[in-house]
Amino acid sequence: MRHQLVQSLRGRYPVQRICEVLEVSRSGYYARCRRPEPVRVREDRRLKQQILAVHTATAGRYGTPRVERQLRRQGIATSRERVARLRRELGLKAKGRRQFRVTTDSKHTYPIADNRLQRRFHARGPNEVWLGDITYLVHGRGWLYLALLMDVFSRRIVGWSLSDRIDEHLTMTALRRAIDARRPPPGLIHHTDRGAQYCGNAYRRALDRAGLEASMSRRGDCWDNAMAESLIKTVKTELGREFLSRDLAQRQLFEYIEGFYNTRRLHSGLDYRTPAEVERLVAPSPPSLSLERWSKEAVAPPALAAPATASPTLT
């Protein structure tokens, strides 16, 4: 340790003086310098660079388990304990959690759907079960609200919408985008909490037109939609920042969801594979929307008052 300290200070002070202060033999220090560097030290230094590269590429979103699995996918053999130690030495930490704000308003008079899912968070293939939830993001002028729809089979976010208002338009836009992108078959279970945004007349008509079966959690039971709650926690933690404007938030969310979460993020529940990889095992991946088309679709609200006989495609 003292020899390492001499090495770090020798560019600022004379070696003789440093050795005197630290009570180190100068000849011993130079003998140490002539010795080859231990293999373990060289390997640790190289592994630190690789860990830092993963940390940078994922914008600090990965903790130790995912960093270790990402290194393994790159052909780098190591252990989780070693990665944890080197991350501590580098001072690297995954992004932390944000503050809490209630987004579910279940005090309404709309009909409540039965709990068809019953906490069975599994599916045999894509477009069998979707989970929906709403969260918030910190904005320079207040709050932004984010509605998400996730496919249980692959954990892919199939639809999302951002607004400064937490209303039915928010959830309808996410639903319309999911249906347009995925074209789900009739019978898909659409599970959410009891929030008014999911129970309104227009939203229920939209589900009926598309042939989706509504399912809702029991009152005050977050475990009935635990996978969606986990998704919300992940998104909020990994975004990990305040947004200066709504346009900037829209762009960063698009880049996160379409450029990272759906295509590159390793999911522990998928044996550290990505949603895109899991879906490619059973069928080609559906086309992704461009940011320009995504943004244009959010300009005009969907036709909330559309008659029950309208086309199955939400407009």
Q: What is the pLDDT of residues 84-121, one digit of tens each?
A: 998 888 888 776 555 544 455 556 568 899 999 999 99
Say if residue 166 is in the same domain as residue 287.
yes
Q: Residue 228: pLDDT band by 50, 70, 90 thresholds?
A: very high
Q: What is the mean pLDDT of the chain?
A: 81
Least confident of 43-47, 48-52, 88-92, 100-104: 100-104
Q: Residue 250's domain spans which residues?
A: 129-297
Total-model pTM: 0.66
> 114 with 215: CB under 8 angstroms?
yes
Say if residue 145 is in the same domain as residue 284.
yes
**Gap between the Cα atoms of 279 and 153, Å rounded:** 8
Find, among 82, 90, 156, the residue nearest to 125 by Cα: 156
Say if residue 79 is in the same domain as residue 155.
no
- In the chain, % of residues over pLDDT 90: 38
Q: Residue 304: pLDDT band by 50, 70, 90 thresholds?
A: very low
Query: Would you state the pLDDT for residue 59?
Result: 79
**112 part of a folded domain:** no
**123 part of a folded domain:** no
Render pLDDT for 233-287 as a digit per residue (tens, 0 to 9): 899 888 866 677 888 888 999 999 999 999 999 998 999 999 999 999 886 545 4
Query: Would you state the pLDDT for residue 61?
Result: 82
Place of tokens 């709990």: 115
Say if residue 71 is in the same domain as residue 198.
no
Find, among 144, 182, 179, the residue nearest to 162 by Cα: 144
Say if residue 162 is in the same domain as residue 255.
yes
Q: Which two tokens stand for residue 11?
A: 């560019």
**66 part of a folded domain:** yes
Say if residue 143 is in the same domain as residue 262.
yes
**96 part of a folded domain:** no
CA angle 64, 264, 158 (to 5 degrees): 120
**115 part of a folded domain:** no
Regarding predicted confidence, which is higher, 124 or 38? 124
Query: Would you state the pLDDT for residue 294?
Result: 46
Domain-terminating residue out of 61, 90, 119: 90
**10 part of a folded domain:** yes
Q: Which residues contact 97 (CB under 8 A, 6 or more apart)?
A: 233, 236, 237
pLDDT exceeds 50 at position 306: no
Q: Residue 24: pLDDT band by 50, 70, 90 thresholds?
A: confident
Domain count, the chain: 2
Say if residue 133 is in the same domain as residue 84.
no
**Gap between the Cα atoms of 12 and 191, Å rounded:** 65
